[in-house]
Amino acid sequence: MGKRGGFPGGAMPGNMANLMKQAQKMQRQMEEHAKELETKEFEASAGGAVTVTVSGKKQVLKLTISPEAVDPDDIEMLEDLIVTAVNEALSKVDEESATGLGSLSGGLNGLL
């Protein structure tokens, strides 16, 4: 009984082998991009009163609050500024990640 599925003789046609090589290359590039992203820091500010620095791993590294932002009668405003700054910094990480991955996946168009 003959072999079912696969390619005759066990060898991949040239185009398929090329596609596999390109996929492996892209995977290595994606891993490198992810490692590089983890080493970067992203900073965002809200209202000029709160500044947040996050890592590419999406961890808050630093939070700076100017004294003028501390009003005991308006804690909610300070909380809002912190949330806004953190979310903006995290969005920067996402943008950087998407930009890098988009440039890597652009090479697939020629293969498919």
Q: Residue 51 is inside which H or E element, if any? A: strand 50-55
pLDDT of residue 12: 56
Closest CA to 74 of 44, 45, 47, 43: 47
What span, in angstroms and rounded, lies between the C-alpha atoms of 60 and 93? Answer: 12
Rg (CA), the chain: 24
Please list the pLDDT of the chain residue by residue as tens digits (112 residues): 555 555 555 555 678 888 888 888 888 888 888 888 889 999 999 999 999 999 999 999 999 999 998 999 999 999 999 999 999 999 999 998 888 767 666 655 554 4
Look at residue 92 in the predicted model and tell me its pLDDT: 94
Model pLDDT, residue 9? 54
pLDDT of residue 14: 72
- Per DSSP, what are the bridge partners of residue 41? 55
pTM: 0.67
